[in-house]
Amino acid sequence: MAEELNAVIVSIEYRLVPKVYFPAQIHDVIRATKYFLQPEVLHKYSVDPGRIGVSGDSAGGNLAAALGQQFNQDANLKNKLKVQALIYPVLQALDFNTPSYQQNVNTPILPRYVMVKYWVDYFHGNYDFVQAMIVNNHTSLDVEEAAALRAHLNWTSLLPASITKNYKPVMQTTGNTRIVQEIPQLLDARSAPLIADQKVLRHLPKTYILTCEHDVLRDDGIMYAKRLESAGVEVTLDHFEDGFHGCMIFTSWPTNFSVGIRTRNSYIKWLDQNL
């Protein structure tokens, strides 16, 4: 990226679980980005203040999306970012039965069970809730706190028929209301950018979202692209039918996969044309 884009790349070493838990990671990336955006710091690194973007993959894509939303709600930071580029981002923890979660339930590198455990880890929650969350007991119809957010990730309307196929929504009538009471962070848009209000999505920067067919997170990215488009944001959705979660890191021997090289090149090409 640095060589092909002739760009300054800043990688934020945000703190990890179990040293810290949500929302410390959000605070880390916001604090670091605010520091970098200071005129004297931009000048030190010869950065054009009109050509700044944020990007991340997987959990990093989650943090990049959350950062964009937080900046968009701060009058002093609004319009500071020209682009955001999200690589197979994880964007919600309310529905673990989207078509991609059902289709790729046991797909390497990220099976559903592992992804749900990662969420519980992020929130310092109780592993006893994992099995209930897998079947959406945490957002059942009797969980009033989740009711207002369901429309923001209603995949029957946000996803095309080519994606939904014959998959059916999993909506429990009664579930475990204790889960969101003990882990209210599940319903926080800073952890789940996909559930943010429409007014928060308006005026977000031009966006690139890369998704992979063989990935439980595929539909998170596709739904976010749809919601951003509906909010008037210019979005490029770059989907790879032969892609899998994490594939972009497989670009050097002996794991120099074709799909790794193609996803990387497509991502860098978009940045070259839009940053």
What residues are annotated to the active site? 58, 215, 245
Q: How far is CA 26 from CA 89, 221, 226, 228, in A?
A: 15, 19, 24, 21
Q: Looking at the chain, list the stretches that DSSP marks H as alpha helix, in order from N- to C-terminal side.
A: 2-5, 24-36, 39-44, 59-72, 99-103, 112-122, 130-134, 144-147, 155-158, 161-164, 178-182, 198-201, 218-230, 258-274
Helix axes 24-36, 59-72, angle to 10 degrees: 60
Q: Please provide residue 53's backbone torsions phi and psi, each rounded to the nearest 5 degrees.
A: -130, 160
Spatial CB neighbours of 45, under 8 Å, sequence gap ≥ 6: 8
Return the H-helix or E-strand segment holding 235: strand 235-244
Q: What is the DSSP letter of 127?
A: G
* Three-state secondary structure readout of 25-87: HHHHHHHHHHHHCCHHHHHHCCCCCCCCEEEEECHHHHHHHHHHHHHHCCCCCCCCCCEEEEE
**Pseudo-torsion of CA 163, 166, 169, 172, nearest 10°?**
-160
Look at strands 83-87 and 235-244 and give their pairing: unpaired
Tokens at residue 32, please?
A: 């670091």
